[in-house]
Amino acid sequence: MELPEKEFLAPGHRACAGCGATIGVRLALKMLGENTVAVSATGCLEVITTPYPETAWEIPWMHVAFENAAAVASGVESALKAQGKTDTNVVVFGGDGGTADIGLQALSGAMERGHNLIYICYDNEAYMNTGIQRSGATPYGASTTTSPHGKESFGEDKPKKNMPMIMAAHGVPYVATASISYPEDFMKKVKKAAEVDGPAYIHLQQPCTTGWGYSPAKTIDLGRLAVETGSWILYEIEEGEFKVTYRPIQRKMVSEYLNAQKRFKHLSDLEKEKIQSHVDAICVELKI
Amino acid sequence: MVLKVMSSNQAIAEAVKLAKPKVIPVYPITPQTTISEYLAKYVADGDINAEYIRVESEHSAISACLGASGTGVRVFTATSSQGLALMHEIIFAAAGLRAPIVMADANRALSAPLSIWNDQQDSISERDSGWMQIYAENGQEALDSVLMSYKVSENKEVLLPTMVCVDGFILTHTVDPVDVPDEEEVDKFLPDYNPEHAYLDPKRPMSIGTFTDPDYYMEARHDMEVAMEKAKAVISDVSQEFADTFGRKYDFIEKYRSEDADTILIAMGSICSTIKDVVDELREQGEKVGLVRVRVFRPFPVEEIYDAIKGASNVGVIDKNFSFSIGGVLHNNIKSMMDVNAAGFIVGLGGRDIKPSHIKEIVEKTNNPSDKPQWIGLNKEEQ
């Protein structure tokens, strides 16, 4: 696959070194090209890319609030349609909090109404912009500032909300998971999402150096480990047809992924085994 | 001119049809719902060429309006009470992003206790948002105000949204004769919207809704205040142009037999029709009573109101809203902005009926004022 050279997210933005979100946006925009309008939910991405009077966006971009990105995009898409500009892509970038929690209603509405838009959830598994608070997408066992581990707690005690399947239940024509560490897989999915007539949802996992607690040099490695251990599975659902898009040759132990991150450092061997057996159960079912 | 009998909600829908918005996101709420229904039917019949979005909440209705307005098209939505309160966050964003949205609000009490009936607490509570606010007295004024509001909001010197407020049920669900203007004349009065300040166009990329630090935020808010001030001249000009085209003239305030009045009542919305009847009756009895109806509440017409009331001995301000420990908001706006003694009255909350006898009681109490705002029409046992 040829990687288009043109960048639509300019350098010089305020992201942390090793930020996974901006990698995801760059890759997505390379596929979508210049005839694209982007909408962002409030969050890291919005704050780091648009410190007035500067902007990193080389395509039209709009942000209104935290929970309404899908509704704003509904308006954008409808207005473009009313003007006959149906060839323009409308893409939304929302974080996991803005997607799985506060923005879920607006997203559900937009998906159910069938707007022709691409919603990309950049999932770093907590509210990172406000300083690492637990979201519905925070995985079991993770220590965050609102689900800290302690004498009486091993951290987050609920499993990660299954957003892609919630989206699939809306019957939208295209749903996929992806990882910034598998750019070709992700970009193919973005292309499919753009070609689909109707709503498309991509749930993009992206490691977060500050929130997960690892060296900024390791972002891509960690994203790979998530997939190679079966902790994050790459699949797509095209017109209801489920397909795993990447299978590790030899699945690695989940502890390798957990041990590489500060947020899981406190877990006992027993907790790690629990997580391993949960991952095993899913992977066996999916033949991974 | 052919007069048609219709409700204010239908009159508003007729105005929207004439204004030709490209995107209409709406969510049902009593007593606004019939506006959404009329518009749905116009779209279904091909009478309006617009994208009608059946959003899942009022929050998304105003958010979709803002997204659509960001692409540079005219938009419309309507709401009421709880719906407006749910929009609150985006109401501020719409003004801050300088989106010339026009929205109708069917004035209704805010919960709790839950009430579907009229007062003006909902829109009054949004007074500091940066939206212009018009309070109509009847269906004709509601229709005309929607058309004028687009022209004012979209003016380059203004670029602020407008809320056209109509009293729930009292106007939204009662009918009176309305002249629906001719489409060609409206097209000339209100041409297409072509913004120079905001457009999501891949050929000329622009970022809308950026993050600001303390070096810029105050300037953005101050610019809105400047625009709100400039809106006064624009409203006057648009009102004059409307009068020249359609023969109906609307000022910031309406003066009814107030020129030589000793006692002047000030109020907003449909209650003014009742007050006019009482004024006529009292005038026949020799009492020099008059009314000043505030039509444009934001921008607040300080000079116009002051000029109209400065000659009166007694002034009574009637509010269908209440700010705790302070009283009616219109009353307090008047007291804070001009050197007048004015008595304040709270009426009609949650749809409490306002009878001519209540207005007479208010006139009586205005002539013998008390310091505290007085609640008129409470059940006897609660007084």
pTM of the model: 0.97
- Interface membership of A60 toward B (CB under 8 Å): yes
**Partners of residue A93 in chain B, C-beta under 8 Å:** none
Q: In terms of C-beta density within 10 A (0-12 exposed, 13-18 middle, 19 or more buried), how is residue A65 classed?
A: buried
Q: What is the ipTM of this complex?
A: 0.97
Instruction: Return the CATH architecture of domain B3-246.
Output: 3-Layer(aba) Sandwich (3.40)
Closest to B101 (Cα-Cα) out of B193, B223, B199, B201 = B193
Is A57 an interface residue toward B (CB < 8 Å)? yes
Across the interface, whether the CB atoms of A71 and B63 are under 8 A apart is answered yes
Q: Is B25 on the interface with A (CB under 8 A)?
A: yes
Per-residue pLDDT band for B370 (boundaries 50, 70, 90) equals confident
Among B61, B73, B207, the residue with its CB nearest the CB of A83 is: B73
User: For B312-332, what is the mean pLDDT?
Assistant: 97
Residues whose CB is less than 8 angstroms from the CB of residue B114 and which lie 6 or more positions away in sequence, other chains included: none
Mark yes or no for CB contact B200/A37 under 8 Å: yes
Do A75 and B68 lie within an 8 Å CB cutoff?
A: yes
Q: Measuring CA to CA, which residue among B13, B280, B268, B318 is closest to residue B139?
A: B13
Q: In A, residues 106-145, which contact B (CB 8 Å cutoff)? A: 106, 108-109, 112-113
User: Which of A72, A77, A92, A108 has the most B C-beta neighbours within 10 Å, making it the best mutation to test the interface with B?
Assistant: A72
Report the percentage of chain B scoring pLDDT > 70. 99
A232-236, B62-66, B198-202: segment of lowest average pLDDT: B198-202
Let me know: does A286 contact A244? Beta carbons within 8 Å: yes
With an 8 Å Cβ cutoff, are B51 and A82 in contact? yes
Distance from CA of B330 to the nearest CA of A (A): 31
Tokens of B263: 């006692």
Query: CA nearest A105: which of A66, A143, A77?
Result: A66
Query: Cβ contacts (< 8 Å) between B202 and chain A: which residues?
Result: 34-37, 59-60, 88
What is the residue-averaged pLDDT of chain B?
97
Q: Taking residues B120-133, report their average pLDDT.
A: 98
> Most B CBs within 10 Å: which of A36, A76, A111, as the mutation test of the B interface?
A76
- As a whole number, mean pLDDT of residues B190-203 equals 93
Are B105 and B166 a contacting pair, CB within 8 Å?
yes
Exposure letters A180-213 (e unless 16+ CB within 10 A, then b)? bbbbebbbbbbebbbebeebbbbbbbbbbbbbbb
- pLDDT (tens digit per residue) in B206-245: 999 999 999 999 999 999 999 999 999 999 999 999 999 9
Q: What are the φ and ψ backbone dihedral angles of B327, each rounded to 5 degrees?
A: 115, -155
Q: Which residue has the tokens 């958010």?
A: B63
Q: Rounded mean pLDDT of B123-152?
A: 98
Give the residues across from B265 on adjacent strands: B291, B316
SS (H, E, C) chain A: CCCCCCCCECCCCCCCCCCHHHHHHHHHHHHHCCCEEEEECCCHHHHHHCECCCCCECCCEEECCCCCHHHHHHHHHHHHHHCCCCCCEEEEEEEHHHHHHCCHHHHHHHHHHCCCCEEEEEECCCECCCCCECCCCCCCCCCCCCCCEECCEECCCCCCCCHHHHHHCCCCCEEEEEECCCHHHHHHHHHHHHHCCCCEEEEEECCCHHHHHCCHHHHHHHHHHHHHCCCCCCEEEECCEEEECCCCCCCCCHHHHHHCCHHHCCCCHHHHHHHHHHHHHHHHHCCC
Interface test with A, best of B56, B201, B217 (most A CBs within 10 A): B56
Q: Which residue of A has its CA nearest to B52?
A: A78
Q: CA-to-CA distance for A76 and B65, rounded, in angstroms? A: 9
Chain B partners of A107 at a C-beta cutoff of 8 Å?
Answer: none
**b/e map of B174-207 (b: 16 or more CB within 10 Å)?**
eeeebbbbeeeebeebbeebebeebbbbbeebbb
Which chain B residues contact residue A62 at CB under 8 A? 67, 70, 200, 207-209
Burial of B218 (0-12, 13-18, 19+ CB in 10 A): exposed
Q: What is the pLDDT of residues A38-84, one digit of tens each?
A: 999 999 999 999 999 999 999 999 999 999 999 999 999 999 999 99
Q: Which of B50, B67, B202 is opposite residue A36, by nearest beta carbon? A: B202
Would you say how long chain B is, in residues?
383
Mean pLDDT of the A21-34 span: 98
Interface size, chain A vs chain B, as Cβ–Cβ contacts under 8 Å? 157
Angle between helices A219-228 and A20-32 (to 10 degrees): 80
Q: Does B98 touch chain A if contact means CB atoms closer than 8 Å?
A: no
Contact A52 B211 (CB under 8 A): yes
Q: Is B23 near chain A, with CB under 8 Å?
A: yes
Chain A residues within an 8 Å CB radius of B27: none
Q: Mean pLDDT, chain A, as a whole number?
A: 97
Sorted by where each begins, the domain ranges of chain B are 3-246, 253-375
Does A50 sit within 8 Å of B211, measured CB to CB?
A: yes
- Please report where in the chains the tokens 């890319």 appear, as a residue: A49
Cα A145 from chain centroid? 21
pLDDT in the model for residue B371: 78
Q: Specify the pLDDT at position B381.
A: 59
CA distance A136 to A161: 6
Q: Do domains B3-246 and B253-375 have the same CATH topology?
A: yes
Q: How confident is the model over A118-145, as a mean pLDDT? A: 98
Cβ neighbours around A39 below 10 Å, total: 32
The structure tokens listed for B56 are: 């899942």
- Write down the pLDDT at residue B121: 98
Domain covering B253-375, topology? Rossmann fold (3.40.50)
Confidence band, pLDDT 50/70/90 cuts, at residue B2: confident
Q: At residue A277, does pLDDT exceed 80?
A: yes
CA distance B89 to chain A (A): 8
A105 touches chain B (CB under 8 A): yes
- Cβ contacts (< 8 Å) between B89 and chain A: which residues? 65
Give yes or no for residue B382 having a pLDDT over 60. no
Whether B383 shows a pLDDT value over 60: the answer reads no
Q: Kindly report the nearest CA distance between residue A65 and chain B, in angstroms.
A: 8
**Which amino acid, one-letter code, is at B327?**
G
Question: What would the two tokens of residue B160 be?
Answer: 């602020």
